[in-house]
Structures are given as C-alpha cells and as structure tokens.
Structure 1
Amino acid sequence: MVDDWDGSTSENSDVCVVGSGPVGLSLATRLAAQGVRVLLFESGEKASNPLIQSLGNAEIDPAAHDDMAIVTSRQLGGTSNLWGARTLPFDPIDFEDRDWIGVRWPITYTEMASYLPDAVRATASGAPVYVESLGSDQVDRAFAAAEAGFRADVLERWANEQRAQVIHREAIRNDPRLVVCTGMTVTGLRFAENGLVEAVEVRGSKDGAPATVPVRQLVLAAGGIETTRLLLAAQRSAPERFGGSDGPLGRYYQGHVVGEIAEIHFARPDFARAFDFRVDSHGSYVRRRIVASAETQRAARLLNCAFWPVVPKIGHADHHSAILSMIYLIMKVGPVARLLVAEKIRQMNLTPDDSSVWAHLLNLLRGAPAAAVFGVEFLAKRFDRKTRLPGIFVRNSGGRYGLSYHSEQLPNPDSRLTLTADTDRLDLPKLKIDLRFLSQDAELTLRQHVLLENWLREAGLAQLRYHLPEPERVASILSQARHGTHQIGTTRMGFSRRDGVVDRNCTTFDCPNLHLATTAVLPTSGQANPTLTAVALALRLADRLARR
C-alpha cells in the first residue's frame, strides 16, 4: 500500500528497498509475495514534480550524456515512466570469458536465465522467447539460406505496459506486507561498528524534514546513477569502503554505442517485411534484429552489436513521404510527442540540419489521405489495452532504409561518476558524470558493419551505402556516441572487492546486509537493453533474502 511516512512503519519491516522503478518494484513485490515485510522509499510522488526531479541534476557533458530529465525519473514507477519498454535479455556470449573485453562475469548465463520467465511476468512482456525459427515463406527462406556469420532470427520484445506502478498495482494497493512511502528521499547510509548498515537517513523530498530509519536488510534500487551516488557519498566518510578511492565504485560507466552511418538497400523490397513490428503468438510486440553469431564474435573479437532497418531520417523532407513528415511535425511538439514516444527517441529524431516545417507541410498536403489513415491506425495500436505498438516502421517500394546499430561499449575505468563539492537541496553531494567512448568502440563498430556488409552481399540479401567515405566513419560513430539511459557498470559484480562492488549475489563485499538491484551491477553492456537482465537478477536476490 502507498502510505505517508509516519516513522512507525520501519519497526516491523524485514527489508528496506530504495527506489520504485521496474527493478525495485519487481524485487519488492517478489519479497512481499513470500511473506517478507517490505518498506519501500520512493523519492518522487505518484505524479512527476519538477522540484523533486531537480534533486537528480548533475554535471554532464551534453555532447556525450543525455539530459538528466531523460535518464532518471523521480516518480512512482521510476524510469519506467520514460522508457520505451524494450525488454530482452543479455546473450550467453556476454557471460563468457572474452579476453578482448577485459572483464568476467561471476555468474553464468544459466543462473540468470532461470529467472527470465518470472522477469517477463514482472515486466508484462509476453514470453521469454527471443529466437524465432525462420519460416517457409520466400522472405524467411532467403535469410535462412545465408551463411551462419550473422543471424536474423533474434527477437527484441516490448512490454505491453511500460509503467511498473501499473504492472504491480494490485500488490502496491492491497498487499499489507508492502508499504510504499512516496516523497521520501534517502540521503545517506549509517553504518554500525561491525560494518553493517544500521539505518538510512531520509528526508522529505519537498520539505526536507529529516528522519533516521533503522534497517535490517537494505536494497538500493534507485537506478544505476542514483545508487552509485549514494554509495559514493557513503565512501566519503570511510575512504576504504567499497574498494577504496581507486577501486571499481563509480568507474566503468557504460551505455551503448548507437547511431547510423549507412543505409541498407534490400535486394527485394519485400525483404523489409521481416523487420516489421508485429504481435507474436505470445501476445506482445516483437521485431527481428540482425546480430553476429557467437562464432563470428569470437573469431573476429567483436563487441556484441545489433542492427535493424529504420525509416529514413524523418527530418529530411526529401523523403517525400506524407506519413514521415506528419511524424516529424508531431515530434516537433514536445508535450504531444512525449505522449507517444520516449523523450530520448524524440530528441534522436530532431537534428540541426532538418528541413523546414514548410517543406514537411507540403509533403503532408500532397499525401494527406494516406497520412490520416496511418495516423488513425497507429493511435489505435499504440493505445491498445492489450498490446502496445512500440514504434514506427514504414516500408517503402524502393527497399531503402537507415541501418541503426546498438553496440556494446568497452568497460573503461576512466568513464566514471564522481562527487562534486556542490550539494542538492537535501544536502546530498551532486554528481559529475564523465561518460567516455573510446576510439576502439568506434573501430569495432565499424568492423562489424564491414562484416555485415560482406554477409548481406554474399547472401544476395542487401547492400550497404555509407553516408561518409571510409576515412571519416570512425569519427562519425564517435560523434554520434551519446547515451545515459542505460546505466551500466558503476557498481559492477565481481570476484572480489578489488574488481567489483557486489558479489555474484548482488551483495556488497564490504557490507553483508547491503544489496544492490540495478543495471549498474552488470559488468558489461552487451547488445541488449539492460532492464530485463537487471530484473532477473533482482528476483534472484529477492529469493535469497526471503530464504534468510
């Protein structure tokens, strides 16, 4: 139940959870369902509040990192209020000992994957099916006949409901073992002489009223950035805590290398049909993506990377598409566009070299009937109560599309989060975020394009047409490298406190009753969005805590 903090609830709680995003709520409701009494603190309220949201402001480089209002959400449901709800797990190869990546996972893929069915239920995303056998029609046969260097049978899946507070609404409302206190920000951890966390320091997010809340077991699930911030603040009073100032805490900040440096021209226009959004037999939207096989990745020592065709740049009116111009004009109106797509996606589709609004209006006038029909159909699918269309893919008769890539980023100790001398309104030190992309990230992404280009050409499936000549492509990849919505690596799992903040069970090495449920515990970033894997690990942690 959602409750106002009165100071008495903590006396009967077994586990205190900080953060109500998709990871935190999945863990908290799992614990409550097993009879564990849970007290959950959420900094925000049921609705977004700019005053509370500003508590997460940080020092960033806008050229490398997304605005903090996009990457964090202080509200019941956390960042699930902002995300596109793409849910797919990390791949088996991500858990292998890849010496060219430079870091090992302390758990196996199987240990994580055993929790995927429950993680799918906790995210309302259909079924744990992420590979689809290619069918017998002409399009599928063409891809199936290709050599095994790349795969086009890999699925990405979307949640039918993106907001975690809606998915877990019944437990939040009715389970007496789960008490959710909104508008309360945890600002510090208090440690006992034996090294255990004995209390959290909490303040009212609006009025700043302080409270000290005793805890037995504490789980930080405040998102990758904010969880790291709390641990860095706790390290200030004990510099050797969490591996020390030269240890892994705050380092190895990763997202994904994303962008577009080429077009894909299919040999037959109907080949693009393989990459449409569609509802599969398990009841949620899916789409295929192209990835290098595990054998190719090992042989070429690649980063894990996914590709998929996308509509041409919607801001360039020379596509002469009334539908795409209509989409662009909607994207220009922020408050309206945010009802339809994540703000991150909206901003990615607006560039300084876009055509004038008048050019798009001319396209729209020329094809108004088709655009109107598309708009009605899209809205009906987007707001369907059972399945929610996650995006837009408009096929064209020429078979020409942009080629989007979503690549793993190498762990880099100099890509990091640190505290500044400034504090927020509740006296918690602010962060400086220094997200760095290496030239090797771009070089390996380009190498992946070259291998994909050869595979497509030899199979007779498609050709790539690059936007820039070869000498300029690495620089183009680096210039587009900008992230922040996937917050990975800064409290990573390891084999000891020298190489990780938490152990294989997501418990901190330095404090046996302090646990982390966040994407930041993932040591590598893979090609997949990190939320589903983090939810699976959180459910695994919940079961361990319940057994205690």
Structure 2
Amino acid sequence: MRIDDLRSVGDDELAADLCIVGSGPAGLTLAAELAGTPLRVLVLESGGLELSDEVDALADIDNVGARRAQSNRVSGDRILGGASHTWSGRCGLLDQLDFSDRPWVPHSGWPIGASELAPFLDRAAEHIGIGYGSGFTDDAFWRLAGRPQPTDSLDPARLRPYFWQISRDPVDPFDCKRFGAHVKGLVAPNIRVFLNATVTHIDTDPDGARVDSVQVAGTEPRPRTVRAATFVLATGGIGNPRLLLASRRVRPEGIGNRHDLVGRFLMDHRCGAVGALDPSVADTVLERFGKYVVRTPHGKHTFLHGVALSPDIQEAEGLLNCALWLQEVPAEDDPWDSVKQLLRGRGTRRDAKVALANSGLLLSGARRRLIQHTGLPHRLDRIELRCMVEQSPNPDSRVTLADRADRLGMPLARIDWRVNAQEDTAVRRAAALAIGEFARLGFPAPALYDWAREGSTLPLQLTDWAHPTGTTRMSAHARDGVVDIDCRVHGVDNLFIAGSSVFPTTGHANPTLTIVALAVRLADTLRTLT
C-alpha cells in the first residue's frame, strides 16, 4: 500500500473508484479488504506518521454538555491508524439483547440482528489482532480455552460471566495492534494513502442525491478536489456528523440531514472505578476473575474475565447493559514495564536495576504465565472494581456545529453530551450484585465507594471512555436514522459511513470489534458495486 503526502501529489492523481476518508480501524480495514480488487482506492488521512499539535487542533470542540475526560478536543486520532494509535486493545462482543428493541430503552433496536453480523466477526478478528471473533464470552470461554468450567457459578438470574480479548500486535507482542504501523507492509497496488489530507467539504449534485467530490486541504488551507465514484466516511463518532453538517453548500441542513437526525443520539460509555480491593487479599479472586492466556489459531492471546448484568434482570428491572471487572493498578516500582522495555531493546540502566531487584516476582510471574496460563503478577498499588455502562439513546444528546472554525475554515463540532439517571441506576445495581456474588462465592469483595452504593444521591464519578457513538445511526427508514442497513446514507446514492457512528445502541462492550466487523461487511457490499 503506497503512502504519500498530499503536498507531493499532482491534481491528476486525485481521482479513484473509491475514496475512504479516515485511516482508523474502520477505514484501514475497509482498504485492506479491498486490496487486490479492480477498485482504485484512495485513503485520505488528516494527520501524518506522527502526532502533531497543529493537526490535533483541527479536532478541537466546543463542549456544552456533560463533563468529558478531554473536554476541548476529540482524542488524538489524527494520525495514520486513527484511534488505534491510542486504544487499549480491549475487544468485546455485543450481546444479542443489544440489537433488540427493548421497551425499557427508548429508541433502542438495530435494523439488523446479531446473526447478520456474525459471518464477519472472524475476519474482523484477524484485522484487529485477536484470537477469536466470536464464541469467547459467557461459559463458552471454558471450552474454547480447554479449561474445566468452574463449579462455583455466578447466579444466572443476576450476573453472567463476560470475557474481553486483548488485541496483540503481530510484531510487538507487548502492545496491542496499531493499524498505522502495518500499512506499508500490505501488498495492495490498487490502494494509495494520502497523509496531511483533511476533508473540509463534501460536494454533491444540485439535488444532494449524489456525491461528486470532496474538498481536501493539506498543511495550507487552499482546497483541492478529490473525485471518486463512491465515498466512505470513516472519521469517527464526532468527525462523521461534523463533516456531514458542515457540507451545506447545496442543502443548508447538510448532507443526509433532511430529517434533522445527523449528530443526534450521541452516546459513549460511562466508565470508571466504583470500588477498590486490597491487593494483599486478592490472589484467589484474581485467579478466578482475572486474566487468562489462551492458545488460539492466531497465537497466544490474553482474555479478561468480568461479569455483566444478565438479560433477565435487565428486562425485569428495566436496566441498561452494564459490565464490571477487576483492574490491577500497578505500583510505581512495578518491574514488568521495565522488563518490557528491556525486551524491546529500549531499556535503561534504571530498568535493569528494577528488574534485578524484583527477580523473585519476575520468576514467579514467568511460572504463572507458562504453567497456569494466567496474567502476570504485578506489584500493585490497588485493585479497582471498574464498570462500563451503555447509554440510553437520546435525541437531545448531539453534535452540532459551533460558531467558530478551525484554521482550515471548517466549523468546529459543538458537543452536547447528555447523561441520565437510568445509567446511574444500572451502575449502582450492577455494582451491588457483583459485590454480593463475590461474597456468595467465597471471594474477598471490593469495598464500594459511597457514591456507587445503591440509594446514594451523590453524583457518579464516571466519565466518557472516548467511544463516541450513534450520531449517524442505522435505520430501516430514512425518518428514523441516517444510514440504511448497508451503511449507505439515506437519499445519497454513493455515500457510505463506517464506524461506531452508525450504531443505534452501544451495549456495554468496547466498540472496535463491531466497528471492524461492519467495515468487513461494507467491503463485501462495495465489491458488488464494481
């Protein structure tokens, strides 16, 4: 796959069969799936090979809603590889219930079911760097891992086991996959990537029914024109609606926005620690609800065991989907980071001293990894009980355009992110159930923070998790959403959207596996257009 800077490209090279805007997991997966096809593909990336303050400033926002972890900017994804440059590598599956129309969750329900996404999950797993695309959560994990299922089961009426996989980079086994690092190695003569190429406007025909071109600017604001037969927006849950709304030269409301739905239903995951456990008493619970190393067809991969609300209790009590897990927080003198740096060839004399001083812990950790196939023991500061809860779709939680513009003249995104009491209730109920189940099974239970207890009126100390979702939601009918079941913008023949902005609901799971599965599915759709 060839990579060029927009400044070095002639105008005669700014044309393709397919133009993908954005080089994150969605955009690069789509490009990789189309490698070797007859399609001439251009990928436009706003950033370069390294992060830049000047380029990052193009992602500034006006935040007028709930407090966010980064209140003035979309997290640094303006770089080749997009959000994979900063993600943690955790991958989870949406539950079947997440696709359903749930009466207790207004505006819920996908126009496709879990079964329609299932055929694309294994291909998605290969792109992401995980061992399995499906079949790794609930009690199915034990068979997959070749382990006996524990006899001390969770009460299925309350909680169920849930497992996440941790992405593994094919080159650096100590890191999750960074998509941008692997672009050059992909054999794809039909695909080119242009860096420092920021799309500022989408140009349509006079009726707004077909995209003719996009305006793209480099390090200077002078726009250039990229033409293609088909376009895909893959710039994230904030970037996608911002670009649609800002493209208003033909239609004042923007593209795909005839029903005033572009930018609405902004969701994220509210996440954070709800309690803590003393590491000195945590060995048994971490052996059961900790990390497992599993040999898969794609190598060894780490799985994290947590718990999630059962579908039965969600329906009976009107709860949103919520999951919890034990998070080890390393102490400042934890030796494993030093060992990783030494093995990568980046270690310092201090790293060598730290490793030598903790040789006993390192030896026991190696034994635990090789024999018990569990996670490495760290020198811990504390163990947190963390949660991640979905949000109820809310049309008033939204992205609009701010009055001020970036240096390229494009209006900034104005973020009015809303949180609600239904989320608070789900978190407190799930936390109480988790504590109760740990105790019932004979494990030491974390102590909940006062504000996380049921009945508390204190505000939850949770924040977003940089998973903006839902702002170009998928729907069967144009009056209910922005894209159809093929992720094509309603009413626009040749414009598609990839990424979490098409999710009608979020579930509690990290979104990347679903994002990439939808990108694989979209690639199959685009093949049929040739």
- The CA deviation at 1:169 is 3.4
Do the aligned residues in 2 keep the contact of 1:19 with 1:221 (CA within 8 Å)?
yes
TM-score by length of 1: 0.80
Could you tell me which of 189, 199, 202 is aligned with 2:216?
202
- Say if 1:243 and 1:396 are closer, same or farther in 2 by CA, change over 3 A: closer
Aligned to 1:104, the other structure's residue is in SS state: coil
- The CA deviation at 1:35 is 2.9
2 CA distance for matches of 1:41 and 1:27? Answer: 13
Q: Deviations over 1:391-429 (max 9, x none)?
A: 9874889xx842111111111122111111111111101
* Residues 47-56 or 229-238, more deviating: 229-238
1:55 aligns with: 58
2 CA distance for matches of 1:294 and 1:430? Answer: 39
2 CA distance for matches of 1:291 and 1:114? Answer: 24
2 CA distance for matches of 1:189 and 1:150? Answer: 47
Q: Deviations over 1:175-201 (max 9, x none)?
A: 210011111111001111242000101
- The CA deviation at 1:113 is 1.6
Amino acid at match of 1:297: Q
- The CA deviation at 1:43 is 0.8
1:158 aligns with: 167
Do the aligned residues in 1 keep the contact of 2:158 with 2:312 (CA within 8 Å)?
yes
2 CA distance for matches of 1:449 and 1:489? Answer: 26
1:364 aligns with: none
Could you tell me which of 263, 275, 278 is aligned with 2:289?
275
1:326 aligns with: 333
1:32 aligns with 2:41: no
- Say if 1:494 and 1:220 are closer, same or farther in 2 by CA, change over 3 A: same
- Say if 1:378 and 1:287 are closer, same or farther in 2 by CA, change over 3 A: farther
- The CA deviation at 1:258 is 1.1
1 CA distance for matches of 2:525 and 2:364? Answer: 43
- The CA deviation at 1:252 is 1.2
2 CA distance for matches of 1:545 and 1:138? Answer: 41
- The CA deviation at 1:379 is 12
- Say if 1:22 and 1:146 are closer, same or farther in 2 by CA, change over 3 A: same
2 CA distance for matches of 1:232 and 1:541? Answer: 23
Could you tell me which of 89, 93, 97 is aligned with 1:85?
89
- The CA deviation at 1:456 is 3.6
Aligned to 2:507, the other structure's residue is in SS state: coil
- Say if 1:141 and 1:539 are closer, same or farther in 2 by CA, change over 3 A: closer
1:475 aligns with: 458
Amino acid at match of 1:151: R
1:229 aligns with: 242
- The CA deviation at 1:261 is 2.4
Do the aligned residues in 1 keep the contact of 2:292 with 2:303 (CA within 8 Å)?
yes
1:320 aligns with: none
1:497 aligns with: 478
1:211 aligns with: 224
Q: Deviations over 1:101-146 (max 9, x none)?
A: 1221011101112100111111122222422444899995353375
1:104 aligns with: 109
2:264 aligns with: 251
Could you tell me which of 386, 411, 418 is aligned with 2:400?
418
Aligned to 1:491, the other structure's residue is in SS state: coil
2:489 aligns with: 508
Runs (5+) with no aligned partner, structure 1: 315-322, 340-366, 381-388
1 CA distance for matches of 2:210 and 2:198? Answer: 21
- Say if 1:114 and 1:434 are closer, same or farther in 2 by CA, change over 3 A: same
Higher-helix-fraction structure: 1
- The CA deviation at 1:210 is 1.7
Aligned to 2:331, the other structure's residue is in SS state: helix
* Residues 113-122 or 271-280, more deviating: 271-280
2 CA distance for matches of 1:421 and 1:391? Answer: 49
Runs (5+) with no aligned partner, structure 2: 170-175, 345-352, 367-372
Q: State how 1:372-521 maps to structure 2 within 5 Å.
A: 372-373=358-359, 394=378, 401-468=383-450, 470=453, 473-477=456-460, 480-483=461-464, 485-521=466-502
Aligned to 2:320, the other structure's residue is in SS state: coil
- Alignment length (residue pairs): 490
Q: CA RMSD in A?
A: 3.6
- Say if 1:473 and 1:235 are closer, same or farther in 2 by CA, change over 3 A: farther
Q: Deviations over 1:413-470 (max 9, x none)?
A: 2211111111111110111112121122112221222333444444444545322174
**Identical aligned residues as a percent:** 31
2:347 aligns with: none
2 CA distance for matches of 1:148 and 1:547? Answer: 45
Do the aligned residues in 2 keep the contact of 1:242 with 1:510 (CA within 8 Å)?
no
- Say if 1:369 and 1:220 are closer, same or farther in 2 by CA, change over 3 A: closer
Do the aligned residues in 1 keep the contact of 2:212 with 2:227 (CA within 8 Å)?
yes
Q: Deviations over 1:56-103 (max 9, x none)?
A: 111125961232666232111111111111122212111112121122
- Say if 1:370 and 1:462 are closer, same or farther in 2 by CA, change over 3 A: farther
TM-score by length of 2: 0.83
Aligned to 1:32, the other structure's residue is in SS state: coil
2 CA distance for matches of 1:490 and 1:453? Answer: 35
